[in-house]
Amino acid sequence: MNIFGTDGVRGRANEEPMTATTLTEFGIVVGSLFLPETSRGKVIIGKDTRLSGYLIESAITAGLASAGMDSILVGPMPTPAISMLTKDTNADLGIMISASHNPFEDNGIKLFGPDGYKLTDEMESKIENMMNQNCSTLLASPRDLGRAFRLEEADKKYIEYLKKTMPKGKSLKGLKVVLDCANGSAYRIAPLVLRELGAKVTCLADNPDGLNINSKCGALDTKLMQETVCDEGAHIGIALDGDADRLIMADEKGEIIDGDQILATIAQAWKTNGKLLENKVIGTVMSNLGLEQFLNSIGVDLVRVQVGDRFVVEKMRSVGCNLGGEQSGHTIISDYSVTGDGILAALQVLSIITESDNPTSKSCRLFRSRPQIQKNVSYSSKRTIMDNKIREIVEEFEKMIGDKGRLLVRKSGTEPVIRVMAEGEDREIVSKVVDNVAKALENII
């Protein structure tokens, strides 16, 4: 069974692979893989606010107990908190139950090793292979069955961790912030952090009911946040996604500050104060050309990897740099965290703003984004998308854009679609290229 995608396991709740039966088996397999030889194992399990989280949490916990692993349940917590707690509590494994920015009908699983990093492709393949075999040999004896516990005040531990990432003595007093929690896992933690640091916070989408996560709110639907920033006369707006590993912001005019602009803001500040390691920032193939040109202008290289924050982290580790991220809002700051953390990234930006006399629109919009247009083409075939015919189409339209733009055609790792993206100086040409490539792909498919 192939269950892993770009970022862990994901699917529609109560349909394969997100069923109680499969997830119990999943718990048995991962429990047996990470069970220590000489002591009882321990797994940290968090979740977002989806209704299906109860089902999935119970199924995985049952599987882990069957393998002899103890489960430490922390309830609704941001994904980066699970990464931090796994390492901080010396757990053998961390599990986050979330489908991130997807609607409530979907759910997923993200796995973290004892070091807090997401699992490698090799380990995910090993899990899949074991799930295709008979799991009865992995079951613990009645004496060695695992237990489940609730960890109280895990949120306080994460809040203190976040506050310590701010420069010593730094306060957000006098800063007016609009915060959209996406009715997700950060609905309690994010407002508390900002208020304890002195900010005046107007909260949106902080009343989850199990069904409203990411619904007309959050990092993928920022309209309400943008409007509220203008209505409230706020200095800045913050929008998280369902598991708070993604951040999109808005300036005092209500105009969007995406992940690329956030990277530029932090990179420039860190370059100035000597904190930016290796004079490199890790981005992805989707990072805007404007970001690359800006970074080059301040003596910083942009290194591109395939889409997925896990691939950004892997490249950061191999290159030895401490800043990377995605245009979609994943920002990884490895001085403090080994995975994307929306609240942490927001605090870094807020710290920069408080040190400047300029409004957010000047402090956090450091380059002109080049026109970038994307279309999705539905795709369900097993056929590789870069066969000769499609490659010819791509090469033909690359000539149209020239050396001042880019054309990217890739299969999504989270949805059954092919993504067609182009960017360049001329929006009309970019739009025409995307339309024509998408139409050609539809005809082939």
Determine the straight-line distance between the first and last CA of the chain, rounded to whole angstroms: 25
Q: Residues 34, 138: one domain? A: yes
307 pLDDT above the threshold of 80: yes
Q: Is 199 left (phi over 0), alpha (psi -120 to 50) or beta?
A: beta
Which residue did the predictor score with more confidence, 103 or 133?
A: 103
Closest CA to 165 of 291, 80, 271, 97: 80
Q: Residues 210, 168: one domain? A: yes
User: Residue 426: pLDDT band by 50, 70, 90 thresholds?
Assistant: confident
| Burial of 57 (C-beta count, 10 Å sphere; 0-12/13-18/19+) | buried
414 pLDDT above the threshold of 70: no
Residue that finishes a domain, picked among 238, 254, 270: 254
415 pLDDT above the threshold of 80: no
CATH of the domain at 426: 3.30.310.50
User: Residue 383: pLDDT band by 50, 70, 90 thresholds?
Assistant: low
| Catalytic residue chosen out of the listed positions 32, 66, 98, 100 | 100
Two structure tokens written together for 370: 């080049």
Which residue did the predictor score with more confidence, 329 or 2?
A: 329
CATH of the domain at 50: 3.40.120.10
**84-108 average pLDDT score:** 96
**38-43 average pLDDT score:** 89
**1-10 average pLDDT score:** 84
The predicted structure's pLDDT at residue 229 = 98
DSSP state of 118: B
Q: Residues 76, 192: one domain? A: no
Residue-by-residue DSSP string for 386-437: T-HHHHHHHHHHHHHHGGG-EEEEEE-SSSSEEEEEEE-S-HHHHHHHHHHH
**82-93 average pLDDT score:** 96
Q: Residues 82, 116: one domain? A: yes
What pLDDT digit, counting tens, does each position of 206-220 carry?
A: 999 999 999 999 999
Q: Residues 37, 130: one domain? A: yes
What pLDDT digit, counting tens, does each position of 324-368 carry?
A: 999 999 999 999 999 999 999 999 999 999 999 999 999 999 999
Residue that finishes a domain, picked among 130, 152, 174: 152
β-pair partners for 409? 420
**105-125 average pLDDT score:** 95
**89-111 average pLDDT score:** 96
Overall number of domains in the chain: 4
Q: Residues 178, 226: one domain? A: yes
Q: Which of 34-48, 135-149, 188-202 has maximum average pLDDT?
A: 188-202
Pairing verdict, β 247-250 and 236-240: antiparallel
| Amino acid sitting at position 253 | K
Q: Residues 265, 247: one domain? A: no
Distance from C-alpha of 240 to C-alpha of 158, rounded to nearest angstrom: 16
User: Residue 381: pLDDT band by 50, 70, 90 thresholds?
Assistant: low
Q: Which of 127-141, 310-324, 379-393 has maximum average pLDDT?
A: 310-324
Q: Identify the weakest region by mean pLDDT among 65-79, 327-341, 344-358, 411-425.
A: 411-425
182 pLDDT above the threshold of 80: yes
User: Residue 91: pLDDT band by 50, 70, 90 thresholds?
Assistant: very high
Residues 6+ apart with CB under 8 A from 196: 159, 163
Q: Residues 264, 248: one domain? A: no
Q: Residues 203, 106: one domain? A: no
**438-443 average pLDDT score:** 86
Average per-residue pLDDT for the chain: 93
Q: Establish how many alpha carbons lie within 13 A of residue 135's alpha carbon, considering only the half-sphere containing its beta carbon.
A: 24
Residue-by-residue DSSP string for 17-49: TSSHHHHHHHHHHHHHHH--SSS-EEEEEEE-S
Pairing verdict, β 8-12 and 331-333: unpaired
Distance from C-alpha of 71 to C-alpha of 324, rounded to nearest angstrom: 32
Distance from C-alpha of 438 to C-alpha of 377, rounded to nearest angstrom: 6
| Burial of 348 (C-beta count, 10 Å sphere; 0-12/13-18/19+) | buried
The answer to whether 100 is a known catalytic residue is yes
Residue that finishes a domain, picked among 221, 254, 287: 254
| Amino acid sitting at position 82 | I
Q: How many CB atoms lie within 10 A of CB 224?
A: 17
117 pLDDT above the threshold of 60: yes
Q: Residues 241, 273: one domain? A: no
**15-20 average pLDDT score:** 96
Q: Residues 245, 261: one domain? A: no
The predicted structure's pLDDT at residue 391 = 75
Domain span at 292 = 257-363
Residues 6+ apart with CB under 8 A from 16: 22
Q: Residues 41, 123: one domain? A: yes
* Residue 228 host element (H or E): helix 223-232
